[in-house]
Amino acid sequence: MPTIRQIQLGKNGITEQFICNLKHHFDSTKNVKISVLRSCCRDREELKEINEKIVKELGNHYTSRIIGYTIVVKKWRRDMREDLKENSAEEKQF
């Protein structure tokens, strides 16, 4: 069983199928490398937005790091992202 899986993000961008496929990879491994192709984005700021969108779709148990045009996403056993916890607590108050 490989410790790091690889997946590519192309011109279609982040779709439901991409997120579903990404979650499927996390069933058997804890780390996934997402190679962002030039047809998806050419700007570092856009890459940061894509990174935030992917981690937000996955949930609190995931963290990420951008290295070049590769996003490395890691799955944790417990909630690691405090900012998402705070946002969900604010939504519950309203």
Count of structural domains within the chain = 1
pLDDT digits (tens, 9 = 90+) for 8-49: 999 999 999 999 999 999 988 999 999 999 999 889 999 999
CATH code of 22's domain: 3.30.110.60
Distances (CA, A) of 77 to 11, 34, 44: 32, 21, 30
Averaged pLDDT for residues 62-81 = 89
Range of the domain at 14: 4-93
Distances (CA, A) of 11 to 21, 37, 53, 74: 16, 8, 16, 24
Say what the pTM is: 0.79
The amino acid at 68: G
Higher pLDDT, 76 or 3: 76
* Neighbour count for residue 84 (Cβ, 10 Å): 16
| Closest by Cα among 86, 77, 78, 80 to 65 | 80
Whether residue 69 contacts residue 49, with contact meaning beta carbons closer than 8 Å, is answered with: no
Confidence of residue 7 (pLDDT cuts 50, 70, 90): very high
| pLDDT at residue 77, rounded to an integer | 81
| pLDDT at residue 6, rounded to an integer | 93
Higher pLDDT, 31 or 82: 31
